[in-house]
Amino acid sequence: MRNYHAYLNSIHADKEVMIDELVRWVNINSGSYHLQGLERMMLALKKAFTPLNATMEELHLPPHTTVNNEGQLIDKPLGKALYITKRPNAPLQIFLGGHMDTVFPDSSSFQRAERIEKERMRGPGIIDMKGGLMILLQALKTLENCPFASKIGWRVLISSDEEIGSPSSSHLYPELSKGCQLGLLFEPALPGGSLAGARKGSFSFTIIAKGKSAHAGRHHHMGENAITALCRLIIQIEGLNDRDHGITVNVGKIAGGGPLNIVPDLAICGVNVRMIHPGDLPKIKDRLRALLKEHNRKDNLSLDLLEMGDRPPKPFDSRQETLFSKMKECGEELDIEITWKPTGGVADGNLLYAAGVPNIDSLGATGEGMHTHDETIDLNSLVERSQLASLFLIKIADEGFHV
């Protein structure tokens, strides 16, 4: 068995360089809808990936259609995705991915990275997932500096809309991953450092209820209350929760109404459903359509369902197990304990799996507090996870790999 550890030595030496670059990235606000910030992040990433001598392309994403509180469809423009490729004709192709957007808008008070302990740093998006992008970059740099790199080709997709459910980049995964044997994505590790095994699927939708307004005192009987109609439907939607089968339904937003002396003619709710089994997603959609049909029987009432996007479940099958076992072997060589467990969280690994590519999608940094103002990274994990991903890439480049 060949000893690959000599190729990993430079990673530890580059630790402070990695941290300095990470701070620069974190200090760029790249909230999902902050176009100027996303453009600055795009430029920073292109500069950082330039030494890899790969082909880089900026991909335009279509606008994200959302519903405002007046029930109107609004197209929100999005930033671009970055697509990087090298050796597209190599027999073994690997897909690597991540996202540059964060949950923190440009109006957030949380804007800067700060070192709070020797090995801990706090900052917006520092683990989700700018730390992961740094690990991805370092792993590719290490691969390219070893003599086996020419044996594999790689493709990197860094999207700009993952934090809002990848509504506009989701179509890229089947197209850009075609011909890839496996994928590595760099979302944060689970608490404690475990990898995400099986992931639930996610389906988000909005329901717009339109009734008929009337004076609440004089002509109450002539109105049709959109709020109460929507609430009756919501109670039935809540009934889709099925803990035994891993189905959860969360009504996360509701809006409607105005002056209390007017029968409201508009109400809106947003709902997210999660499921374990792929076959449950079409069944849930069919049930929702049936419920709406039941409620749409009054002349002055309409309830419309707008699908806002879905990411199918990612089960832990035999191909996934083979891939994770190979990563566990790499961990053992580095004295890193690799474990995995299922999670209700959803990521772009779901989309890559649906495209037919087995993948590990939680190879990013370790830390805590993601999506909060206490988002922190364990700086040692930059080195540890970079070595892990690098060793994996080097080994499969030299030894080959089949799933």
3-state SS, residue 138: helix
In CATH terms, the fold of domain 5-200+313-399 is Aminopeptidase (3.40.630)
pLDDT tens digits, one per residue of 18-51: 999 999 999 999 999 999 999 999 999 999 999 9
Structure confidence at residue 402 (pLDDT)? 77
**Res 225 pLDDT > 60:** yes
Structure confidence at residue 401 (pLDDT)? 83
pLDDT tens digits, one per residue of 166-187: 999 999 999 999 999 999 999 9
**Res 1 pLDDT > 70:** no
* Listed residue (190, 151, 51, 28) closest to 101, CA to CA: 28
Q: Which residue has the tokens 């206490």?
A: 374
pLDDT tens digits, one per residue of 256-296: 999 999 999 999 999 999 999 999 999 999 999 999 999 98
**Res 382 pLDDT > 90:** yes
Distance between CA atoms of residues 265 and 255, nearest Å: 12
| pTM summary value | 0.94
Classify residue 349 as exposed, middle or buried by CB count within 10 Å of its CB (0-12, 13-18, 19+): buried
pLDDT tens digits, one per residue of 102-128: 999 999 999 999 999 999 999 999 999
Distance between CA atoms of residues 270 and 247, nearest Å: 17
Residue 292, by phi and psi: left (phi above 0), alpha (psi -120 to 50) or beta?
A: alpha
Q: Where in the chain is the domain with CATH 3.40.630.10?
A: 5-200+313-399
Q: Where in the chain is the domain with CATH 3.30.70.360?
A: 201-311
User: What is the band of 248 on the pLDDT scale with cuts at 50, 70, 90?
Assistant: very high
User: Would you tell me how many other CB atoms lie within 10 Å of the CB of residue 16?
Assistant: 9
**Res 403 pLDDT > 80:** no
Q: Residue 255 has what DSSP assignment?
A: E
Give buried/exposed letters for 38-63 (b at 16+ CB in 10 A, else e). Answer: bbbbbebbeebbeebebeeeeeebee
CATH architecture observed for domain 201-311: 2-Layer Sandwich (3.30)
Rounded to 5 degrees, φ, ψ at 351 are -65, -40
